[in-house]
Amino acid sequence: MRFLRPRVGAMLRSQPHRRRMLALALAALGLFLASHVQAENSAIRIGAPLPLTGALSPEGLKLQQGYELWKDVVNAAGGINVGGTKRLVEIVYYDYQSATPKAVQLAEKLATDDKVDFMFSPFGSGATKAASTVSERYGIPTIAPTASSAEVYDQGYKNLFGTFTDNSTLSEPMTDIAKAKAPKVQRIAILARNDLYPLALGQEFEKSGKKRGFEIVYFGKYAINTLDHASALTEIKGANPDWIVATGYINDMILIRKQMADLGAKAQVVTMINAPAYQEFIDATGPLAENVTSATWWHPAEHYQSKDAFGSTEHYTELFQNKFKSLPDFTNATGSASGVVLQMAIEKAGSTDRAKVREALAAGGFDTFFGPLSFNAAGQATSYVPPVFQIQRGKAVVIYPDAIKAGDLQLGVQ
Please state the pTM of the whole predicted model.
0.85
Share of the chain above pLDDT 70, in %: 90
pLDDT (0 to 100) of residue 19: 60
Enumerate the domain spans of the chain.
Answer: 44-165+301-373, 168-296+388-400
Two domains, one topology: 44-165+301-373 and 168-296+388-400: yes
Taking 70 as the threshold, does the pLDDT of residue 395 lie above it? yes
- Domain 168-296+388-400 carries which CATH code? 3.40.50.2300
The full 3-state SS of the chain, as one line of letters, equals CCCCCCCHHHHHHHHHHHHHHHHHHHHHHHHHHHHHHHHHHCCEEEEEEECCCCCCHHHHHHHHHHHHHHHHHHHHCCCEEECCEEECEEEEEEECCCCHHHHHHHHHHHHHCCCCCEEECCCCHHHHHHHHHHHHHHCCCEEECCCCCHHHHCCCCCCEEECCCCCHHHHHHHHHHHHHHCCCCCEEEEEEECCHHHHHHHHHHHHHHHHCCCEEEEEEEECCCCCCCHHHHHHHHHHCCCEEEEECCHHHHHHHHHHHHHHCCCECEEEEECHHHCHHHHHHHHHHHCCCEEECCCCCCCCCECCCCCCEHHHHHHHHHHHHCCCCCHHHHHHHHHHHHHHHHHHHHCCCCHHHHHHHHHHCCEEECCEEECECCCCEECCCCCCEEEEECCEEEEEECCCCCCCCCCCCEC
The whole-number pLDDT of residue 31 equals 46
| Architecture of the domain made up of 44-165+301-373 | 3-Layer(aba) Sandwich (3.40)
pLDDT band at 176; cut points 50, 70, 90? very high
- Tens of pLDDT along 242-292? 999 999 999 999 999 999 999 999 999 999 998 999 999 999 999 999 999
Q: pLDDT category, 413, cuts 50, 70, 90?
A: confident
pLDDT greater at residue 21 or residue 210: 210
